[in-house]
Chain A
Amino acid sequence: MVGAFLYLTACSFKNRLRRRVQRLREPRYVIGLIVGLLYMYFAFFARRGRSRSAEGVSALAAMAAPMQLFGSVFLLATAAIAWVWPGGGQPLAFTRAEVQFLFPAPVTRRELVHYKLLRSQLAILFGSAIATLVLRPGSLAIGWTLMAGLWVVMMTVRLHLMGVALRRASLAAHGASGLARHWLPLAGVIGAAGVLAAAVVGAWPALRTADSGEAVFGALQQLAAEGAAGVVLWPFRALVRLPLAASAAAFWSALPAALALLVVNYAWVLRSDTAFEEASAEHAERRASRRAAPRAVVRGGTATPFTLGPDGPPETAILWKNLILVGRYVSLRTALRLLPLIVVFGLMTRSTQAGGVTAFIGALSLPLAAMAVLLGPQMMRNDLRQDLARLPMLKTWPVRGAALIRGEVLAPTVVVTAVAWLLLILAAVLGGGLKPGSREATAFVAHRASYLAAAFVVAPAIILSQVVVQNGLAVLFPAWVAVGASRARGIDAMGQRLFMLAGILLTLVVSLVPGVMAAAALAFLIYQLTGAVPILLSALIVALVMAGECWLAIEGLGRILDRTDPSAVEATE
């Protein structure tokens, strides 16, 4: 059976690689690959050379001590969360095809577990290699020990999480009695957390009076290595020691303990005979549905943004549809995710003397508005990027390509503009965080209305321009754009994304030039005549010129879309 699994794994790897190589026949993918490789070279190798010559020591050696402490705590937290987090301990993840081929086949559960371990090797080896590159070990020998150590850590974590998943599935299968037996791991986690908390509380006076960060860190290191806390953290520290070994001798000395942990977890997983097939099959279905749909959950029953009448341009219908997409995904849970951020903001405000929450929000709103304008169009994808997967259906609609694109770009523009306007109003009303009474604050207040109006006018034009570029790229280079919920992978895809981001920013700058030049010329003329600078009029000219550019671009893109063959929109892996 192992032969069949090896064959499946090798074929999958080979064919995936072949598909990526085949993609390189198209120049756009070659460009993407070159950009991706250059990025990796400058990000890892060139930086590594510089750091060696400048500092003479590797980043790894410098970070070994903090990484050992935080790494072991992180591993403890990972294990604890897997045991106690509701919904944690996901069943073994199989794809739909694996469920269909392997589950009905004469394969034992133990063999299925081995198969999953085999399949995880590629990801673990790749992850170890990338982490080794990022951590930049000082020499090749240390590089190999680092990579091997990382493999042992990742493999042990993988085995432990697999064991937790099987154990929790087994407990759940036993109903109430099984859940009652869950008290043991729960007690273990609570006990470990209690031991660590007690150790920190005990050492708190010393930590409080420590006169430097180094002293605090030294005390924490001592805490983690001694007493009850040292015992709790020992397995995690033993694992983390391996990749952080500063020499081959240190590596060999740390290896037996780490390997023992790996073997214990492996034996634990193999001893389990939990019937995970049903849960895994359900999980595979859910995962496949999530890939097909843009998000996991769509809530029904929410009101539509407005009533769609039978008459009017098709653009409004597409806007209506895409606004519904936003409404159906925004939920209380989404709002609650922002709660920690708000709490942190509140705490930060309390710690500053800037005049409380209102001044803080005022100061924060302006950069957030700028972020919304510049990053919002990248994040808000309720447009053609989302619909491109349904291009065959869209092409049956009696709608010109240009009208379709116009309708598609409206929704993200409307939503991001609304957010930007709200933040601009907050920034203007709450004073922009300037020190009350200062000259800047007085000038700002005097011209506040003009600035606000100008920003109100220019913001949608800048947002629209970027959304048009994003959708234009989807029309011109459909294979470069993440279609629907899927996302292309690989160095070439990463290069394409970097290339696209640079292209979007460049296009934004270029699209601003004609409007800014026209506005500057008019403003200069009016200034010469009246001595005043017409801020709002200048902003209006910039916005109108950009809107005109967008209109022309959409008309051109529409003609291309009309000729686009849906087969050009390839499915991403």
Chain B
Amino acid sequence: MIDVQDLTKTYGAFKAVDRFSFRVDPGEVVGLIGPNGAGKTSTLRCIVGIQAPSAGTISVGGHDIVKAPVDAKRLLGFMADEPQLFEYLTVMEHLRLTARLYRVRDVDARARDLLAELQLTGKEHALPAELSRGMKQKVAIACGLLHDPKALLFDEPLTGLDPLGIRHMKETIVARGRGGAAVIVSSHLLHLVEEICTRIVIIDHGVKVADATLAELKAHPELAAAGSSLEQIFLAATAGDS
């Protein structure tokens, strides 16, 4: 569903991502992890079309994000780490706007279900200023999930959520994966990645250093000595950069 081939992203002379390739199939939940400045956010922003790749190709559901951006974006849902909401639109108006942009017909029913799933029932007519940071995050996630995307990208999805919200968010992500969506979760919370991801991609200095299931990583001859937890494996793979 998501196919990244030889992605390179440069900012002036600085190469943030260097010939990075990986793919995410339907039903997979892939954890994208790496130290600060490793190139995770640049990769996500290239996949969703916020930034253009300097080189390489990205396709979503067979649509090239550069050549056919509208078709590719229609399949995508991106949940950024910092919720970006229009401060003058209510929660329901955000959902209606999203429904129109993504051509979602049964917006009322879907919105009702999503708001219940994300514990936002009763907040339909609230403006962002009346919501907490965590609730804003949930509104952004509801907008991202409204069109039932086939490819989902979460950038630090647990930021600002309370313990109950964290549990629900994990369930939401896993349910989408089980439902057949291709999911990428970028997070520094390694226990989250360990718990919900079916495969892990580690990136460091813009270069892929690992792409395997947790079991495969644990069995890897060079990483096995580091320990059995993802944290130990991650530190060994990135040589303690973080």
Given contacts A392-B80, A395-B50, A563-B52, contact A325 B88 (CB under 8 A): yes
Contact check, A308 vs B11: say whether CB atoms are below 8 A apart.
no
A308 CB contacts on chain B under 8 angstroms: 96-97, 100
Chain B: minimal CB distance from A176 (Å): 31
A293 CB contacts on chain B under 8 angstroms: 87, 129
Contact check, B93 vs A399: say whether CB atoms are below 8 A apart.
no
Contact with A along B1-43 (1 / 0, CB 8 A): 0000000000100000000000000000000000000000000
**A397 vs B50: C-alpha distance when bound (angstroms):** 10
B104 CB contacts on chain A under 8 angstroms: 310
Interface residue stretch chosen among B71-79, B157-165, B169-177, B208-216: B71-79
Contact with A along B65-106 (1 / 0, CB 8 A): 000011101101010100010111110010011011111110
B-contacting residues, A238-259, CB 8 Å: none
Partner of A316, one of B74, B87, B100: B100
Partner of A392, one of B45, B74, B89, B125: B45
B50 CB contacts on chain A under 8 angstroms: 392, 395-396, 566
Contact with B along A308-323 (1 / 0, CB 8 A): 1111101011001100
Is B115 on the interface with A (CB-CB < 8 A)? Answer: no
A310 CB contacts on chain B under 8 angstroms: 99-100, 103-105, 107
Chain B: minimal CB distance from A186 (Å): 34
Contact check, B70 vs A567: say whether CB atoms are below 8 A apart.
no
**A390 vs B82: C-alpha distance when bound (angstroms):** 11
Q: Across the interface, name the chain B residue whose C-beta is closest to A327.
A: B88
Is A393 on the interface with B (CB-CB < 8 A)? Answer: yes
Contact check, A566 vs B51: say whether CB atoms are below 8 A apart.
yes
Contact with A along B179-218 (1 / 0, CB 8 A): 0000000000000000000000000000000000000000
Is B230 on the interface with A (CB-CB < 8 A)? Answer: no
A309 CB contacts on chain B under 8 angstroms: 100
B11 CB contacts on chain A under 8 angstroms: 567
Chain B: minimal CB distance from A412 (Å): 15
**A301 vs B126: C-alpha distance when bound (angstroms):** 8
Is A340 on the interface with B (CB-CB < 8 A)? Answer: no
B100 CB contacts on chain A under 8 angstroms: 308-310, 312, 314, 316-317, 320
Chain B: minimal CB distance from A375 (Å): 23
Contact check, B89 vs A321: say whether CB atoms are below 8 A apart.
yes
A301 CB contacts on chain B under 8 angstroms: 125
Partner of A565, one of B48, B51, B70, B76: B51
Is B130 on the interface with A (CB-CB < 8 A)? Answer: yes
Contact check, B45 vs A398: say whether CB atoms are below 8 A apart.
no
A400 CB contacts on chain B under 8 angstroms: 69-70
Contact check, B125 vs A399: say whether CB atoms are below 8 A apart.
no
Contact check, B45 vs A397: say whether CB atoms are below 8 A apart.
no
Chain B: minimal CB distance from A507 (Å): 28
Is B118 on the interface with A (CB-CB < 8 A)? Answer: no
Chain B: minimal CB distance from A96 (Å): 15
Partner of B130, one of A300, A304, A396, A397: A300
Q: Across the interface, name the chain A residue whose C-beta is closest to B69.
A: A562
Partner of A329, one of B69, B88, B129: B88
**A565 vs B16: C-alpha distance when bound (angstroms):** 15
Q: Across the interface, name the chain B residue whose C-beta is closest to A395.
A: B50
Given contacts A311-B103, A321-B97, contact A395 B125 (CB under 8 A): no
Count of chain A residues near B, Cβ 8 A: 36
Q: Across the interface, name the chain B residue whose C-beta is closest to A304.
A: B93
Is A324 on the interface with B (CB-CB < 8 A)? Answer: yes
Partner of B49, one of A314, A316, A324, A396: A396
Is A328 on the interface with B (CB-CB < 8 A)? Answer: yes
**A397 vs B129: C-alpha distance when bound (angstroms):** 23
Q: Across the interface, name the chain B residue whose C-beta is closest to A563.
A: B52
Is B127 on the interface with A (CB-CB < 8 A)? Answer: yes
Contact check, A300 vs B99: say whether CB atoms are below 8 A apart.
no
Chain A: minimal CB distance from B156 (Å): 15
Contact check, A398 vs B93: say whether CB atoms are below 8 A apart.
no
A298 CB contacts on chain B under 8 angstroms: 87-88, 127, 129
B48 CB contacts on chain A under 8 angstroms: 395-396
Partner of A324, one of B51, B88, B129: B88
**A51 vs B126: C-alpha distance when bound (angstroms):** 60
**A329 vs B130: C-alpha distance when bound (angstroms):** 16
Chain A: minimal CB distance from B74 (Å): 4
**A324 vs B100: C-alpha distance when bound (angstroms):** 16
B130 CB contacts on chain A under 8 angstroms: 300
Partner of A399, one of B70, B86, B96, B126: B70
Contact check, A324 vs B89: say whether CB atoms are below 8 A apart.
yes
Partner of B70, one of A316, A321, A393, A398: A398
Contact check, A314 vs B101: say whether CB atoms are below 8 A apart.
yes
Contact check, A393 vs B101: say whether CB atoms are below 8 A apart.
no
**A298 vs B93: C-alpha distance when bound (angstroms):** 14
A-contacting residues, B37-63, CB 8 Å: 45, 48-52
**A316 vs B97: C-alpha distance when bound (angstroms):** 10
Q: Which of B76, B89, B103 has the most CB of A within 10 A?
A: B89
Contact with B along A128-161 (1 / 0, CB 8 A): 0000000000000000000000000000000000
A395 CB contacts on chain B under 8 angstroms: 48-50
Contact with B along A195-220 (1 / 0, CB 8 A): 00000000000000000000000000
**A324 vs B94: C-alpha distance when bound (angstroms):** 11
Q: Across the interface, name the chain A residue whose C-beta is closest to B140.
A: A393
Given contacts A317-B100, A321-B86, A392-B84, contact A300 B126 (CB under 8 A): yes
**A49 vs B42: C-alpha distance when bound (angstroms):** 56
**A292 vs B87: C-alpha distance when bound (angstroms):** 9
Q: Across the interface, name the chain A residue whose C-beta is closest to B129.
A: A298
Partner of B76, one of A312, A396, A566: A396
Given contacts A392-B50, A392-B80, A567-B11, contact A300 B90 (CB under 8 A): yes
Q: Across the interface, name the chain B residue whose C-beta is closest to A309.
A: B100
Contact check, A398 vs B74: say whether CB atoms are below 8 A apart.
yes
B127 CB contacts on chain A under 8 angstroms: 298, 300
**A308 vs B91: C-alpha distance when bound (angstroms):** 15
Q: Which of A298, A316, A320, A324 has the most CB of B within 10 A?
A: A298
A390 CB contacts on chain B under 8 angstroms: 84, 86
Contact with A along B126-140 (1 / 0, CB 8 A): 110110000000000
**A398 vs B150: C-alpha distance when bound (angstroms):** 14
A324 CB contacts on chain B under 8 angstroms: 88-89, 93
**A399 vs B11: C-alpha distance when bound (angstroms):** 26
Q: Across the interface, name the chain A residue whose C-beta is closest to B94.
A: A321
- Pairs of residues from A and B, 6 with the lowest C-beta to C-beta distance, nearest first: A398-B73, A317-B100, A393-B84, A398-B74, A328-B88, A395-B50
- Can you give 28 contacting A-B residue pairs, CB < 8 Å? A289-B129, A294-B87, A298-B129, A300-B90, A300-B125, A308-B96, A308-B100, A310-B99, A317-B100, A317-B101, A320-B100, A321-B86, A324-B93, A325-B86, A325-B88, A390-B84, A392-B80, A395-B48, A395-B49, A396-B48, A396-B49, A396-B50, A396-B73, A397-B101, A398-B74, A398-B102, A562-B69, A565-B52
New contact pairs (4) apart from A294-B87, A308-B97, CB-CB < 8 Å: A311-B103, A398-B101, A400-B69, A562-B69
Chain B interface residues toward A at CB < 8 A: 11, 45, 48-52, 69-71, 73-74, 76, 78, 80, 84, 86-90, 93, 96-97, 99-105, 107, 125-127, 129-130
